[in-house]
Amino acid sequence: MTTQQPAEVQPAADERIELERAVVKHWKAPISYAVLTAVSFILMVLLARDGLARLRLASGGDFFQIPDALLPVRATGVVVVVLLALLTAFSFWAAATVRKVGAWLPVVFGIVFVVGFLVWAGAGAMIPIPGLLFATVGLSVPLIFGAMGGVISERAGVVNIAIEAQLLGGAFTGAVVASATGSTIVGVFAAMVASVLVSMVLAVFAIRYFVEQIIVGVVLNVLIAGLTNFFYSSVLTDNPALNSPDRLPRLNIPLLENIPLIGPALFNQTAIVYAMYLIVPLIAWGLFKTTWGLRLRAIGEHPLAADTVGINVPRLRFWNVSLAGAVAGLGGAYFTLDSNGAFTREMTAGLGYIALAAVIFGQWHPIKATAAALLFGFASALQQTLGAIGSPVPSEFMLMLPYVITILAVAGFIGQSRPPAASGKPYRKQ
């Protein structure tokens, strides 16, 4: 029976509904760990490579220089596999005894696995860890901006599959306007405006005309890809001056950039990246601590309830979806005004979809979605770094890595994440 007191002790209405729970054992996580451990065993023990792997941990301007880590590949492999096996065993034990395991287990497991993989892949070569981290941040920036746009839009009740279009539209417009005006700042703002316009199309069709949001989003993605391709080949190739924007300057933050390992990755960046450091916590704070956030979440959870307290649901949804576009537009500007320096055909390459995956993996929470985007960014950086040092894994397989991790993350490791209840549902009034 439940632990509740008999009903006469207190009024029935004051009791909490607590149903008895059956013992349900969840084997998904331990089995996943076991499979990864088995893969590691095959890779790092059976197919072990000889020699030493050198992990470079220091970079030029650090306060102090951490010496390179020289690791014997075989021995490291054995140690890593043993550690993974222990973690897996713990996971099985926890599942069998129905214990809750915190988030530390997947994190520790992931770090151990990655270290083992790096050492194995880097046998006889040098892997620059600061460079890997720098690339991680760089590759994550558009994902994070895209994911923030996704979080805002979906929390307001509109599925934003058009992140891809917002990024691409922003990238193109940013490049052209910055080239034409000669001002990167104007370019950044133009990118935001373009992205807002894309969002507004989505908002009008989804909110005003109740068109299926996924379809509008997909159509927008195709439309913007087509438009930018057309202008790229018909205008930009003939007028290269329109596609050669100045890049945003790198702003080094003194002292902070000298922190070993993470300093250069985090604090030797452009204004757009520093803006991201502010925007993510700002959105998190705004969503959960301000009137704006309260209303935003209300219209995404139960729009009729919001309506009955006098909130104009369609209008609020419209402006928040537009705001989501503005945030995603910064991610678009990053492509052409920071990382690449020119627009190329479909240069966002599906990152908008990965950003959407980060939103889901991050459970519609700005901080968690950022962590998810960083994970995907790390996977891409790993692929680039290992490609550069000539890893034994075929490069085609390495290219798959970010996407494989996306699928595993979204499908496997997340628990039951709950989307905003009214996300994707049009709100109709009589």
Binding site for another protein (CB under 8 A): 2, 4, 6-8, 11-24, 291, 294-295, 297-298, 301-302, 304-312, 416, 421, 429-430
The stretches of 122-240 forming alpha helices (DSSP H) are: 129-155, 163-181, 184-203, 213-231
Q: Residue 338 CA to chain centroid, in angstroms?
A: 18
Is the Cβ of residue 27 or residue 230 nearer to another protein in the bound state?
27
Q: How far is the CB of 236 from another protein (least distance, A)?
A: 47
Q: With contact defined as beta carbons under 8 Å apart, do 377 and 137 qualify?
A: yes
Is the Cβ of residue 15 or residue 246 nearer to another protein in the bound state?
15
What backbone torsions phi and psi does residue 250 show, to the nearest 5 degrees? -80, 130
Q: How far is the CB of 256 from another protein (least distance, A)?
A: 35
Is the Cβ of residue 10 or residue 239 nearer to another protein in the bound state?
10
Is the Cβ of residue 60 or residue 310 nearer to another protein in the bound state?
310
Amino acid at 40: S
Is the Cβ of residue 290 or residue 395 nearer to another protein in the bound state?
290
Q: Which residues contact 100 (CB under 8 A, 6 or more apart)?
A: 94
Q: Coil, strand or helix: which one is 200? A: helix
270: which strand partners? 250
Is the Cβ of residue 97 or residue 430 nearer to another protein in the bound state?
430
Q: How far apart are CA 147 and CA 354, in angstroms?
A: 9
Q: With contact defined as beta carbons under 8 Å apart, do 361 and 411 qualify?
A: no
Q: How far is the CB of 311 from another protein (least distance, A)?
A: 5
Q: How far is the CB of 418 from another protein (least distance, A)?
A: 8
In the sheet that 126-128 helps form, which strands lie side by side, from edge to edge? 69-72, 52-56, 126-128
**Apex 204 CA angle, 189 and 202, nearest 5:** 60
Q: How far is the CB of 416 from another protein (least distance, A)?
A: 7
Q: How far is the CB of 326 from another protein (least distance, A)?
A: 23
